[in-house]
Amino acid sequence: MAKLARFNWISFLSMLCLIALGTVAIHSAGQARTGEVFREMWVSNLATAGFGLVVYFALAFSDYRRLLAWTAVPMYVFAISVLVAVLAFGSTVYGGRRWLWFFQPSEISKLCVICAVARMYGGDGLFESIRTGFGGFAAGAAMLALPCVLILLEPDLGTTLVLIPSVLLMLFAARVWRRGLVAVLLTLSVAAVAVLGLVYEAERPGAPPGRREAIMKFVPLKDHQIKRVRVFLFPEEDIHGAGYTLRQAKISIGSGGLTGRGLRKARSNMLKYLPESISMNDFIFCVYAEETGFAGSIALLSLAGLLLLSCAWTAHISTDGCGRLLALGVTALLFAHFFVNIAMSLGMVPITGLPLPFISAGRTFLLTAMSGLGLVQSVSIHGRETTK
């Protein structure tokens, strides 16, 4: 009974409501697809959610401290192993080698890295003695850099962009050498601004011939990534080519009005103006927003806000350092996914391949997100206990 009293019902019910909205959105988006497997993707999503609930409750009512004590390091080793394996044996889909058999290692690795960092730096973690010095900073940077480099080689820039701030926030909360963390944040910020500036100078209308080749030598991005940055900087320059998807995404969201067109009545989706390859995953928010309108979008954002706030509250009230870092890391990761996915649909950030939590079709990420919330629920139940 004591455990049930500490069960975070807001987090749990918000998650269920988001999964329900996601299943409806996947069903609607799938109606425009020609393949039967895509039209029935909502069934696969429900089945994955059902299995995810089993994992969720198993993790929630297990003591995360004992669990991470035994599994955090093996989980990290497993994450590195499958990231190496996908580069060697993985399947290439849409220009990226991200699939290993039936799952995406990069999605699983995010939770594995968060669990490992929480274990290493939380409470009596293995790095406790060096936590506040340069050694603790160097160890954390190495733990983060290794999977990020492997993920970038796939290439998968989006996953790296959400994993880095999530782990850096955990390290900052753990009071790891903060001067070093601030230096890393400043370096990354300057690098991001520099890349945007270089692409702008190379691609801006009226730029002298030869400028692009001279400048792009200093831009560490793949061709498709440069194209996405260019679309972000100049969204109206090539609306029938590289900028087509973003333009259709904005039209789809705007045409929903206040209350939406209704389920399975999103024109951009049904008439296939929004490309089929992205309508069920990266840009599913556009389909959802057109069908449910501004009111439906506010409902989704409200549920996401409730979920994130309840997880953040769990981190706040936990008296255990490992639990606090674990809950904080999962919260930051989900927030980054919500923010980047919706912002790129609105043209506020460059387009990158990131799913919308619990809404996009994607079995690996759905199961990973539910597992992460199961661990946060375990922190809510066990994070204030004084005995181990």
Structural domains counted in the chain: 1
In a domain, 153, yes or no: yes
In a domain, 388, yes or no: no
Q: What is the pLDDT of residue 95?
A: 61
In a domain, 387, yes or no: no
In a domain, 174, yes or no: yes
In a domain, 90, yes or no: yes
pLDDT at 370 over 90: yes
3-state DSSP percent of the chain in helix, strand and coil, to 5: 70, 0, 25
In a domain, 26, yes or no: yes
pLDDT at 187 over 60: yes
- Alpha-carbon separation of residue 311 from 31, 114, 291 (angstroms): 34, 15, 29
Q: How far apart are CA 141 and CA 323, in angstroms?
A: 21
Residue 72: exposed, middle, or buried by beta-carbon count in 10 A (0-12, 13-18, 19+)? buried
Q: How far apart are CA 82 and CA 104, in angstroms?
A: 9
Work out the average pLDDT over 199-221. 79
Q: What is the pLDDT of residue 35?
A: 67
In a domain, 18, yes or no: yes
Q: What is the domain extent for residue 41?
A: 2-382
In a domain, 56, yes or no: yes
Q: For a pLDDT cut of 70, what percent of the chain falls above it? A: 94
pLDDT at 36 over 70: no
Work out the average pLDDT over 167-190. 91
Specify the pTM. Answer: 0.91
